[in-house]
């Protein structure tokens, strides 16, 4: 299975005003807002990649080489599935009606489960021909993820170069990893 981002988030995962407060910056000064937004987005990407979860709501398409009875979708939490289709070997496209599958949003990894798999299993598909379009992310980001984003954004703000010279560095024991590890998704 491979997954492709279709629609990026339309807002930042944490409020710019909260980041400015965390950094002790003047909230009225907008001169660094674009830079701060970039640091927030970079922090979100690092945290999402490390944790295997989606923070801000985004739409994805999951591609499978064959139709599966219960397709597990990476990047929890799953919010909804908008389309399930199959690109057949002859070049035609078959949309699988929503009445033919269940969407499991409550499991650790969300799933699309065919009600009658015998209708579809064995169908010859193009490579990556079974496609599921879904939305994932949080309505309200948990506090530990928000704090991890604040810490990492502050790190990027304070350390704008790739290398620190003349400094001893140490990872704080109860910092970003400690906030993200308990809910980390490791897909094998």
Q: What is the pLDDT of residues 54-81, one digit of tens each?
A: 999 999 999 999 999 999 999 999 999 9
State pLDDT tens for residues 12-40.
999 999 999 999 999 999 999 999 999 99
Question: Predicted confidence band at 82 (pLDDT cuts at 50, 70, 90)?
Answer: very high
Query: Do residue 66 and residue 121 come from a single domain?
Result: yes
Look up the CATH number of the domain holding residue 158: 1.10.3230.30
State pLDDT tens for residues 125-143.
999 999 999 999 999 999 9
Q: Is the dihedral of CA 78, 83, 88, 90 positive or negative?
A: negative
Question: Domain for residue 188, yes or no?
Answer: no
Query: Do residue 144 and residue 81 come from a single domain?
Result: no
Question: Domain for residue 111, yes or no?
Answer: yes
Residue numbers of the domain that contains 100? 58-136
Question: Domain for residue 174, yes or no?
Answer: yes
Query: Do residue 145 and residue 161 come from a single domain?
Result: yes
Question: Domain for residue 65, yes or no?
Answer: yes
Edge-to-edge, what's the strand order for the sheet holding 111-114?
A: 70-72, 111-114, 101-104
Token pair for 97? 């009606």
What pLDDT is attached to residue 187?
72
Number of domains composing the chain: 2
Residue 166, sorted as left (phi over 0), alpha (psi -120 to 50) or beta, turns out to be left
Token pair for 103? 């969407």
Query: Do residue 157 and residue 172 come from a single domain?
Result: yes
Query: Are 81 and 133 in contact, with CB atoms under 8 Å apart?
Result: yes
- Checking DSSP bridges between strand 111-114 and strand 93-95, what pairing results, if any? unpaired
């Amino acid at each position: 299975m491979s997954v492709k981002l279709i629609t990026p988030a339309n807002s930042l995962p944490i409020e710019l005003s909260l980041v400015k407060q965390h950094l002790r910056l003047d909230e009225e000064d907008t001169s660094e807002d674009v830079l701060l937004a970039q640091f927030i987005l970079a922090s979100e990407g690092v945290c999402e990649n490390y944790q295997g979860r989606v923070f801000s709501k985004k739409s994805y398409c999951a591609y499978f080489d064959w139709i599966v009875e219960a397709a597990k979708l990476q990047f929890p939490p799953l919010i909804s599935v908008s389309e399930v289709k199959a690109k057949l070997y002859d070049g035609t496209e078959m949309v699988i009606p929503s009445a033919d599958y269940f969407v499991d949003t409550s499991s650790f990894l969300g799933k699309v489960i065919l009600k009658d798999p015998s209708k579809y299993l064995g169908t010859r598909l193009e490579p990556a021909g079974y496609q599921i379009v879904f939305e994932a992310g949080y309505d309200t980001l948990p506090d530990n993820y928000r704090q991890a984003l604040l810490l990492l954004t502050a790190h990027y703000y304070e350390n704008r170069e790739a290398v620190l010279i003349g400094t001893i560095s140490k990872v704080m024991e109860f910092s970003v990893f400690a906030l993200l590890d308990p809910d980390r998704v490791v897909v094998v």
